[in-house]
Amino acid sequence: MAWQGVIGLEVHAQLRTRSKIFCACPTTFGAAPNAHTCPVCLGHPGALPVLNERAVRLAVVAGLALDCAIATRSRFDRKNYFYPDLPKGYQITQVTAPLCTGGHLDVATAAGVVRGRIHHIHLEEDAGKSIHDASPAGTLVDLNRAGTPLIEIVGEPDLRSADDAVAWLRELRAILRHTGVCDGNMEEGSLRCDANVSVHRPNAPFGTRCEIKNLNSFRAVRDAIAHEIERQQAVIDAGGVVLQQTRLWDAERSRTLPMRSKEEAHDYRYFPEPDLLPLHVAPELVAELRAALPELPAARRARWSAAWGVPAAAAAVLCDEPVRADAFERALGAGPAADLAAAFALFVTGQVQAAHQRSARTDADVDAALPVLLDVCARWVQGRLTNKMLADVLQSAFGGDAALGAELERALAQVGAVVTDAGALAPTVDAVLAEHADQAARYRAGHTPVLGFFVGQVMRRLGGRGDAQAVQRLLQQRLDQ
Amino acid sequence: MLHAALSLPGAPAVMGVVETAHAIAAGAVRASDVAAAALARIDAFEGDLHAFLHVDRTGALAAAERVDADRRAGLPLGPLAGVPVHIKDMIAVAGMPLTAGSKMLAGWTPPLDATVVARLRAAGAVLIGKTNQDEFAMGSSNENSAFGPSRNPWDRTRVAGGSSGGAAAATAAGLGCGGLGTDTGGSVRQPAALCGVVGFKPTWGRVSRAGVVAFASSLDQVGTLTRSVADAAALYTAIAGSDPLDATSDPRPVADCAADLTEAKDLRGVRLGVPIEYLDAADGLDAGVRQRIEEALATLAQRGADVRRVSLPHVRFGIAAYYLVCTAEASANLQRYDGVRFGHRAALAPGATLDSLYATSRGEGFGPEVKRRILLGTFALSAGFHDAYYRKACQVRRLVHDDFARALRDCDALVGPTSPVCAWPLGAHAHDPLAMYLMDIFTVSANLAGLPALSVPAAPHPASALPVGLQFVGRAFDEASLLRVAHAFEAARGPCAWPAPAARSE
Amino acid sequence: MIPMEYLSIDSVLHGPFQAPSQASTADRVAHVARLARIELRPEEAAMLGHDLDRILAYVEELRAVDTDAVEPMIHAGDRGLVLRQDVERDGLGAAMATAGAPATEGGAFVVPRVIG
Ligand SMILES: [Zn+2]
């Protein structure tokens, strides 16, 4: 029987707060080294942590969105180790009594619905940043990120393939974004993923697992897990034993490598954080946050499908980012435009997405232009824009300097209307037939495929603005005369 | 008599907190004269006592002059306006170096005031300097200060106690009206007892720890060292109360204890429990100390108190539980001293590893007692031993706490000795850490239970004439009652003698 | 649901208790000194090892205390945490943050090179 992968993800998500988890320093990304630091996040003698209320609320919201139980009493612990980006010599985290426990996240995959259970979600502080290659003097330490609020979402080993893992993580990100918990930006590190991977034969016990770190894109998650499953299979097939290890994903060479293991096993000497009393979360607050939960992406996709027939794949792409999904709904409004919804969804995730990727425009610019894009889509669907005209409009507008909406309107005006009127087409048709009298003769002699040649010639002269059916009709009329 | 023994030029310096504040507010004396007198006394005593690690002459005189200017301008004065106070070197004063008694922090100046310091400044107090202490407050004799011990003003061959030994010595010698210390296992009360002054540790959570170097967070509390209970109440009232910078500070309102001390000094109806484990059944309690404590109990009874025996069956395990809990917390709290962001960094050869930077810097920067406690605490938390040592100690801590809770249901306060012995000669226990730990036998339990406790001088030792401290332990967050009882005892006891400035070097 | 009681860290994370006698004094001191990142001179290690043995022998008395079903006490009192509103404020800034540091470069702290 074939080997099967067993995967559980551990996801660190940066909470969308203004200030850090235990001090008032801003959480803004990209400041000069140590610009956003204070005695608390520098670990100065005498500095004490004071927990950010919004961090607690966001963590509770994440727990509710993932069907966790919310502990009315939880506790913080210290995780002790020495590293330059950990200023106090310990990380404040939750080990024995986390804020959220249990829970699950279901994702639709090609093979059906996969349920990935969640063991728990806890609050913790992020470490700072060590920069290893910037200075001959040594490693540089920037503590701007130290104390950034995180939740760690610890998934059970319920996933069975790299694709399942990616689908689960993508759905998790969509939920965290929809609920305003995390911006989900993997490049800036606001969403980070480690994967616990083992292999087994179905119905046999799980094998020894390896933890893979440093997975900072969906591609890295997929590739690293797929490679790790293959690696473990190969080890076992060769008669070897998989060692319990922490491995690092090397994206450039597409392989996982064991991290250097120190001679001493990690002994984090966890104990309850004496500077923080137990965290009490009132049932009333939980009820309030539960009532205020927004529609989650799965429900939204289901609604779009039922009401508008939006295809699942397009809905998934649009609902990845709630700002996009909101803008999409706003553009459609409640009126008759909803008929167009399915086509518009395919249009936005197809042609618009492609044009966007080739341009330097921001998501926000595209979102703001969705009402105009809906107009473009409507014209195209109704045949008022040809494929060629559509491509021209998108290319011209995305390449322009002004706001996308304004550029689209300009491009629409420039491209003009499709020419369908026989009277307007006649001069061009006649001119082409006159120039190619020999080809006309061939058509009349029975070589009907020549018609296509004429259509192409006419369209070229009209700059793609001619209605293809009208041109063809007129050509046939003239040739059959 | 009280002031006569201390009369140097500038005698106002030896007035108490309350007396000085009143005199300045009434215009009887200028704040700058009080500050100058305090500094003059420091000059006279300091070479001998080594009570200070830093004296801020310029800052003290400038602050005093501001008080005088405010008074001349008719501006309202704070309740401690012009009162010269000292601050233990565990507590951050912006602009003054902070060492916590350790080479590890030599040369470091904190950027911000601790909350308690900001509150003293807001009340108008004049900060005269930083007092000596055992390194990171780990010690009972001040001999663990990296900068040499403070000496006892009553007998300079003896210890001042610890860890707030500098603060106790300074207070006894009249170097300022009083000051702030920190008490993790008796570090305010024990040196107060050994130096013959009042040491008051409020309830854990009552006074902000923000800006106070952490030794053991769940036990540490800022306290006061003064020459009277009324002075303790005045300083306490200025610093107590919740603080947004300390999440363990308690939101309950603070009574104005200074105004609350009744003149009646009557103890009728007050039930005082004497733990048999602290007196009748206490091992190692000096006979002269026992005698003075029993006399003090008789005095309390004469004033109308109902003095009764109680039992705290688990306090005999207090030392063991305390030294596991405090060292475990300390091992983590002291990890920030790593030579990266502040403090001592070892000079290393090029190419040295990060781990050698840590280990060498910490090996050089910490003294032996700090290393001993970090190692013990690290062990108590390490894999395989955590449950058997740290967690077990936390369980015993609960039993100790419950003993006190039970006793304080039937008693308004508990009373007994602060220290089993009087000040001992310098060096006597320097090579026996366990013997030194056992000196804390009567004080650690109030920290384990988080309760307010106060040491007030009883009559001096019948043989040595050295100070003896009487300890009261009260109910959580009822500092007002504790201060009232101690105040009544103080009045019944009558005035104390104070050490003479030249008792040593003739 | 994880209960609020402070669970046994060892049984959750580390496995069964080992009696301290299994390690020699020297090994124990070397191990904890390494965990605590404190370099000890040989005579210092010997002295501290001896002290540690004595102190650990003393605290053995705790084993006599019946603590079954006793919830470990971490803090005095039973109040919950007071939280801070999510308001941002400027911190010290890089210059002040690094003012007391032994080695800095461009506003960052410098430590010996760490590989990966
Ligand atoms: Zn900060």
CB–CB contact A73 C4 (8 Å): yes
Q: How far is the CA of A145 from the centre of ligand 1 (A)?
A: 9
Q: What is the pLDDT of residue A437?
A: 86
Strands (E), A216-253: 245-250
pLDDT tens-place string over residues C91-111: 999 999 999 899 999 999 999
Task: Calculate how close chain C gets to A182, using CA atoms only, in Å.
Answer: 15
β-bridge partners, B127: B85
Cα–Cα distance for residue pair A136/B436, rounded to 1 Å:
49
Cα–Cα distance for residue pair A361/A352, rounded to 1 Å:
12
Which residues in chain B have Cβ-Cβ distances shorter than 8 Å to A274? Answer: 216-218, 248, 329
Q: Is the dihedral of CA B225, B231, B232, B238 positive or negative?
A: negative
How many structural domains does chain C have?
Answer: 1
Measured CA angle at A296 (ends A101, A108), to 5 deg: 85
For chain A, give every domain's residue range: 4-285, 297-415, 422-480
Which residues in chain C have Cβ-Cβ distances shorter than 8 Å to A141? Answer: 108-111
Query: At A125, is the secondary structure helix, strand, or coil?
Result: strand
CB–CB contact C111 A38 (8 Å): no
**Is B141 noted as a catalytic residue in this protein?**
no
Q: Classify each residue of C44-68 as buried b or exposed e, where b means 16 or more C-beta atoms within 10 Å of its C-beta.
A: bbebbbebbeebbeebeebeebebe
User: CB-based contact (8 Å) between A430 and chain B?
Assistant: no
Considering only residues B505 and B493, tell me which one the structure prediction assigns the higher pLDDT: B493
DSSP label at residue A126: P
Q: How far is CA B393 from the centre of its chain?
A: 24
Task: Calculate how close chain A gets to B101, using CA atoms only, in Å.
Answer: 13
ipTM above 0.85, yes or no: yes
Query: Helices in C1-116 by DSSP H: which ranges?
Result: 9, 25-35, 42-59, 94-97
Which structural domain range is residue B455 located in? 31-506
Cα–Cα distance for residue pair A370/A405, rounded to 1 Å:
8
Q: Determine the residue of chain B that is closest to A45 in CA distance.
A: B213
Q: What is the pLDDT of residue B1?
A: 29
**Is B88 noted as a catalytic residue in this protein?**
yes
DSSP string, B1-45: -TTGGG--TTGGGGS-HHHHHHHHHHTSS-HHHHHHHHHHHHHHH
Q: What is the pLDDT of residue B503?
A: 45
User: CB-based contact (8 Å) between A49 and chain B?
Assistant: yes
Which structural domain range is residue C54 located in? 4-64
Considering only residues B94 and B256, tell me which one the structure prediction assigns the higher pLDDT: B94
Q: What is the pLDDT of residue A78?
A: 98
| pLDDT classification of B502: cutoffs 50, 70, 90 | very low
Cα–Cα distance for residue pair A41/A127, rounded to 1 Å:
9
Instruction: Indicate whether C51 belongs to any domain.
Output: yes
**Is there a contact between B15 and B228 (Cβ–Cβ < 8 Å)?**
no
CB–CB contact A34 C87 (8 Å): no
| pLDDT classification of B289: cutoffs 50, 70, 90 | very high
User: CB-based contact (8 Å) between C6 and chain B?
Assistant: yes
| pLDDT classification of B8: cutoffs 50, 70, 90 | very low
CB–CB contact C6 A17 (8 Å): no
Instruction: Indicate whether C60 belongs to any domain.
Output: yes
Pick the CATH number of A422-480 from 1.10.10.410, 3.30.70.20, 1.10.10.1100, 3.40.50.1980: 1.10.10.410
DSSP string, A425-474: HHHHHHHHHHHTHHHHHHHHTT-TTHHHHHHHHHHHHTTT-B-HHHHHHH
Q: Give, in order, the Cα–Cα distances in Å from B289 to each of A13, B155, B163, B461, B496.
A: 61, 17, 21, 6, 16
pLDDT tens-place string over residues A314-335: 999 999 999 999 999 999 886 6
Task: Calculate how close chain A gets to B78, using CA atoms only, in Å.
Answer: 26
Tell me the residues surrounding ligand 1 (ion) with CB < 5 Å: A 23, 25, 38, 40-41; C 91
pLDDT less than 70: residues of chain A: 1, 260-265, 334-338
Q: How far is the CA of B394 from the centre of ligand 1 (A)?
A: 31
- E strand or H helix at A156: none
Residue partners of A163: CB distance under 8 A and separation at least 6: A109, A110, A222
Cα–Cα distance for residue pair B246/B242, rounded to 1 Å:
8
User: CB-based contact (8 Å) between C57 and chain B?
Assistant: no
pLDDT tens-place string over residues B46-83: 999 999 999 999 999 999 999 999 999 999 999 999 99
Strand B126-131 and strand B155-159: the pairing is unpaired
Cα–Cα distance for residue pair B162/B151, rounded to 1 Å:
11
Which residues in chain B have Cβ-Cβ distances shorter than 8 Å to C77? Answer: 204-205, 250, 450, 476
DSSP label at residue C36: T
CB–CB contact C37 A23 (8 Å): no
Q: How far is the CA of A42 from the centre of ligand 1 (A)?
A: 7
- Is pLDDT of B228 > 50? yes
Task: Calculate how close chain A gets to C27, using CA atoms only, in Å.
Answer: 13
User: CB-based contact (8 Å) between C69 and chain B?
Assistant: no
Q: How far is the CA of A50 from the centre of ligand 1 (A)?
A: 11
Cα–Cα distance for residue pair B351/A137, rounded to 1 Å:
10
Residue partners of A131: CB distance under 8 A and separation at least 6: A139, A140, A141, A142, C108
- Across the beta sheet with B453-457, what order do the strands follow? B52-55, B126-131, B84-88, B178-183, B221-226, B198-201, B453-457, B469-474, B413-417, B271-275, B306-310
DSSP label at residue A351: I
Cα–Cα distance for residue pair B434/A447, rounded to 1 Å:
112
Instruction: Indicate whether B220 belongs to any domain.
Output: yes
**Is B163 noted as a catalytic residue in this protein?**
yes
- The tokens for B84 are 């010269």
How many structural domains does chain B have?
Answer: 1
CB–CB contact A48 B112 (8 Å): no
Of A24, A42, A101, the CB nearest to C2: A101
For residue B402, the domain's CATH number is: 3.90.1300.10
Q: How far is the CA of A172 from the centre of ligand 1 (A)?
A: 29
- E strand or H helix at B205: none
**Is there a contact between A148 and A27 (Cβ–Cβ < 8 Å)?**
yes
Mean pLDDT of the B373-396 span? 96
User: CB-based contact (8 Å) between A267 and chain B?
Assistant: yes
Instruction: Indicate whether B21 belongs to any domain.
Output: no
Selection from A122, A173, A184, A130 nearest residue A150 by Cα: A122
- Is pLDDT of B24 > 80? yes
Which residues in chain C have Cβ-Cβ distances shorter than 8 Å to B364? Answer: 39
Measured CA angle at C11 (ends C5, C17), to 5 deg: 125
CB–CB contact C94 A34 (8 Å): yes
| pLDDT classification of B264: cutoffs 50, 70, 90 | low
Q: Determine the residue of chain A that is closest to B353 in CA distance.
A: A138
Which residues in chain B have Cβ-Cβ distances shorter than 8 Å to A82? Answer: 335, 338, 355, 358
